[in-house]
Structure formats: structure tokens, C-alpha cells
Amino acid sequence: MNVGILVWDLNISGGTQRQALELAVHLTDLGIKVVVYTYLYDPQGCYPGLSSRLDIRFVKKEAVEDVPSRVAQTWKGIRKYWRIYFELDSLVLLSLIEHDTDVLTPVDYRVYVTAGRWKARTGKPVVWLMNDMPMYRWSRQHLLKTTLFHLKPKFREHVRSFDKVVVLDEWNKRQLEQTFQRPAEILRGGIDVERFTFLRRKRQPGRFRILSTGIFLPHRRIEDTVEALCMLRRKGCKVRLDHVGSSDRGMSYARKIYKLVARLNLQESVVFHGRVSDDDLLRLFTAADAFVFPNAPQTWGLSVFEAMATGLPVITTTGCGAAEVLTDGVNALIVEPYRPDLLAAAIERLYEDPSLGERLAHNGRAFVEDHLNWRNYAREMIGKYHEVLKADHVGVT
């Protein structure tokens, strides 16, 4: 069986990129021939330990800019949607796909148009790993994007043509059913428990460091963590926030967060690290006392489980898919989204009760070991491939 994995950008180290690369690596280890296709590629910027093991075909080798100007950001946005609407980049990416590919797996939403074109051209099956549904519901915040999707019915046709759609959480499953009236199957992601090793922490008196991760986008709800930190500092809790994530894709949101930190006079209590290497991320996990994930709405949340694997007690919200499989007070603290006060109260519980953090840490690690495994994820995906290949009467090599 020859599998093509399609992902838009492999020039950053994010959850979608890890999902695509881990799947490709473990499929390869299980004897499947895999080629990964991407539009943007930076071998040093996207999990080099994984990408170096794979056959990756790309359109452009391009690193991400650190801080684009407002003008550059606006122009890039206009150019991006222009090229999406006329499928210019999709056609270039389509030209890379090998003729002997048996089944194609687009990961996330931007490459689904390329997959739809490939399906129409070859008649071969597509299994879509949909982490975020294309923006078909009208939204003031994403008015241009929703307008473009509604102006081009072919985009909907692509989605309806796919043989199978696999999602990580119930929220996206419902979204797909409501918008496209088609079913989705839930398949939870994995974790590299060997890389994210458990660390027994010893609290240092007089300090408490919380860690959060994610590129600057509004659904990260970084402002909720900052406001929670302010509440705690006013109560005398010596809490510091370290945030990891680049700002290049959401500079307007990043500026909003920077201004909030300055307005609340938290410059000495909040550190923005930008993009970091895998090793530096592990060091930050090691230095932290708790991990906070206020995102909403958020598909899954791979970093939640990476933090749990290292023995960090986790605070998350019901606004993310990860909360669907976790139990409040047993392996995580789970609060309502958009509530900095509840976030602050959860952090304060960990601040004042080290035994609670220890219990959550041990239970969290046990949950990850028992339920999340990339190799099992790859095996289940092979099962999905066999199902669609059999249904389409395609020979499996």
C-alpha cells in the first residue's frame, strides 16, 4: 500500500505537524510506503528528528518570519485568500503527488482542496484527518474567509467526495455533521512517552511557574491566563507565566496580549519565549510547576498530553477536545472557558496544595501511557485505509 500524507506547512513545530509526521513515521515502521507532501518546508523548523526520517516532497523551502510588519501581514493575508479561492497553490501541490499513490490523507483543512482535486482526477480514496473544519459558518471575525467558501460550491463538493473523515474530538464530529451532513469517525491521537519522560518535581519555596504553549491566535485565550495571573499576584501569590509560541501568524492578537501585559504591569511576571527547539521545550516543561491550556474552541490539544507525560499537573477548559477524555480532579483540573477567575482559582489550588499537583501528575502520566500511543494510532489508520480501498475495489500492494 502506498500512502500519501498531505499537510500544508512543515515549517513550524505545531500539533498538526507532529500528528502528520508521527503518523508517517509509524506507518513506515509498520511496512507502509509513505510520501509526505507539503507546500512549505523548513527541515530545521519542523521537528527535524521526525522529518529527517521521511520522504518529504515540497513546493517551497521557507522558514517562518519572526515578526512581519502590519503591511506585510495584511498583504500576505490578501494574497493567501486570493490563491486559495483560485486554487493556485492547491494545483502546484497536486502536481507533486506520485501516480502510484493508493490512498491520500490530507491533514487539517487547507490541503483538503488539493485532496479533492486528486480524488476527482484519479478516483482513488481519500481519508481526511480533519482537525479544524473549513470556515463555512458566517463569522464577523472571518468574514473574508467565509465569503470565499460560500462563493465557491466546489469546496463543499471536495468535502462530500471524501471516502472517510477522521477527527480527534466530538466537537469537530458535530460540526461536520451539522455543516456537511456527513459522518465522521473519532480516532484519538498519540504521544511519544519515551521522549516526554516523567519527572518527579520538588517545589521551590516562594515560587510557582506556569507554562502555556501555542502560536498567537485568538482561540488560544492567552489573555485569560494573563488576567488570572494578575488576580493571583494581587493576592500575593508569586506566580510566573512562561509562554511558548511564535507570533508571526497572529501579530494583531500578539500585540493585544503584549499591551495587556504592560497595562497590568506584569512585564516581570510574564515571559514570551517565541519559537523554541524541542530540547528547550523539554527544559521549560522541566522548570514548570503546572501547565495551563485555556484554549477555546480548540481541537484536541496535543501539548496537554505532552505536559502530562512529563509529570506536569494540567489545567484545561471544556472548550478543548482534550477535556473530553480527562476527568476533573483525577488527572487534570478542568474549568469553563473564557473565565479567568476560574482559571486563577485552579492555579491557586495547585499553588496551595502540592499534594494535589503530585496526584494529578501521577494520574496524568498513567492516563497517557494507557490511552495514547502513536503506533496504535497508525495501526488504526491502516484499518481505515483497508476499509476505503476495499470499498473502492482498489488493489492493495
User: Any idea where the domains of the chain sit in the sequence?
Assistant: 2-190+373-391, 208-371
Percent of the chain residues past pLDDT 70, beyond the cut: 91
Q: What is the structure's pLDDT at 248?
A: 79
pLDDT band at residue 136 under the 50/70/90 scheme: low
**How far is residue 194's CA from residue 24's CA, in Å, rounded to a whole number?**
18
pLDDT band at residue 170 under the 50/70/90 scheme: very high
Tell which CATH architecture fits domain 208-371.
3-Layer(aba) Sandwich (3.40)
Looking at per-residue pLDDT, the higher value among 62 and 326 belongs to 326
**Pick from 259, 270, 288: which is nearest to 361 by CA?**
288
Q: DSSP string of 283-352?
A: HHHHH-SEEEE--SSBS--HHHHHHHHTT--EEEETTBGGGGG--BTTTBEEE-TT-HHHHHHHHHHHHH
Q: What is the structure's pLDDT at 221?
A: 96
- Is the distance from CB of 350 to CB of 290 less than 8 angstroms? yes
**How far is residue 226's CA from residue 266's CA, in Å, rounded to a whole number?**
8
Cα distances from 124 to residues 7, 61, 106, 395, in angstroms, run 18, 29, 13, 11
pLDDT band at residue 397 under the 50/70/90 scheme: very low
Q: DSSP string of 140-176?
A: STTHHHHHHHHH-THHHHHHHH-SEEEESSHHHHHHH
pLDDT band at residue 206 under the 50/70/90 scheme: confident
Cα distances from 192 to residues 67, 198, 285, 303, in angstroms, run 31, 12, 15, 11
Q: What is the structure's pLDDT at 69?
A: 62
Q: Give pLDDT tens digits for 284-301.
A: 999 999 999 999 988 889
Q: Is the dihedral of CA 372, 127, 13, 274 positive or negative?
A: negative
For the question of whether the overall pTM of this predicted structure is more than 0.85, the answer is yes
Which helix (H) or strand (E) element contains residue 50? Answer: helix 48-51
**Pick from 334, 332, 335, 326: which is nearest to 359 by CA?**
332
pLDDT band at residue 70 under the 50/70/90 scheme: low
Q: Is the pLDDT of residue 396 over 50?
A: no
Q: Is the pLDDT of residue 63 over 80?
A: no
Average pLDDT, the chain: 90
For 62-66, 145-149, 342-346, 391-395, which range has the lowest pLDDT when averaged over its residues?
A: 391-395
Give the pLDDT mean for 144-171.
84
Give the pLDDT mean for 157-162.
92
Q: What is the structure's pLDDT at 394?
A: 47
**How far is residue 323's CA from residue 312's CA, in Å, rounded to a whole number?**
16
**How far is residue 164's CA from residue 103's CA, in Å, rounded to a whole number?**
11
For 146-160, 165-179, 346-360, which range has the lowest pLDDT when averaged over its residues?
A: 146-160
Q: Hey, what CATH topology would domain 2-190+373-391 get?
A: Rossmann fold (3.40.50)
For 32-36, 296-300, 323-327, which range has the lowest pLDDT when averaged over its residues?
A: 296-300
Q: Is the pLDDT of residue 395 over 50?
A: no
Percent of the chain residues past pLDDT 90, beyond the cut: 71
**Pick from 16, 9, 7: which is nearest to 301 by CA?**
16
Q: Give pLDDT tens digits for 298-315.
A: 888 999 999 999 999 999
- The answer for residues whose C-beta is within 8 angstroms of residue 236's C-beta and 6 or more apart is none
Q: What is the structure's pLDDT at 390?
A: 92
Q: Give pLDDT tens digits for 230-283.
A: 999 999 999 999 999 988 778 889 999 999 999 999 999 999 999 888 889 999
Q: Environment class of residue 50 by beta-carbon count within 10 Å: exposed (0-12), middle (13-18) or buried (19+)?
A: buried
Q: What is the structure's pLDDT at 139?
A: 60
Q: What is the structure's pLDDT at 38?
A: 97
**How far is residue 222's CA from residue 214's CA, in Å, rounded to a whole number?**
9
